[in-house]
Amino acid sequence: MGADPEAIIYYGFPIDKPEFDYFEASEEWKDKRKPKEPEDKGEYRTPEWDEWRSKLREWETTVENIEITWGGAEDCEQFYIHAPALRLSVEWGEQKPLEEVDFSKRNDADTFIELFCKQFGLEYKQPGWHLAARYF
């Protein structure tokens, strides 16, 4: 049996397991804010779609991109709201310098985390930096 452990530093705060589908809520948030897909759904290998994919990758690195996810293990999940752009993780045999995270963006993330909480009826708490583990 294999295991994939992961160490995570994130900016946000832990929450109890949501009463709703947290993945769907995160996708709903992103769908309303990410760059709009091109109208033409027939051919996905066009310059228009390439440009959209580039804009989407850029948007995903902003603090407007907020989500709920989990740490812990599959049988003891610990949920949290965070800005993925301010997340750093490593798996077995990896090391990364903390300088890879732009810690100065945290104040901008506060606004979007608070808006996310309001949209989904979650209690807002002042976000902070957290160290978590994930094992599955």
Provide the pLDDT for residue 50.
Answer: 93
Provide the pLDDT for residue 44.
Answer: 79
Q: Strand pairing partners for 6?
A: 91, 134
The structure tokens listed for 94 are 């990896």
Digit-coded pLDDT (tens) for 2-45:
567 889 999 999 999 999 999 999 999 999 999 999 987 777 78
Provide the pLDDT for residue 2.
Answer: 52
Provide the pLDDT for residue 15.
Answer: 96
Distance CA 29, CA 64 (A): 9
**Is residue 89 within 8 Å of 109, Cβ to Cβ?**
no
The structure tokens listed for 58 are 């850029």
CB atoms within 10 A of CB 62: 17
Provide the pLDDT for residue 30.
Answer: 97
The structure tokens listed for 26 are 């995160």
Digit-coded pLDDT (tens) for 36-47:
999 877 777 889
Q: Where are the domains of the chain?
A: 5-30+66-135
Q: Is the pLDDT of residue 1 over 70?
A: no
Digit-coded pLDDT (tens) for 87-128:
999 998 899 988 888 777 788 899 999 999 999 999 999 999
- What is the residue type of 99? E
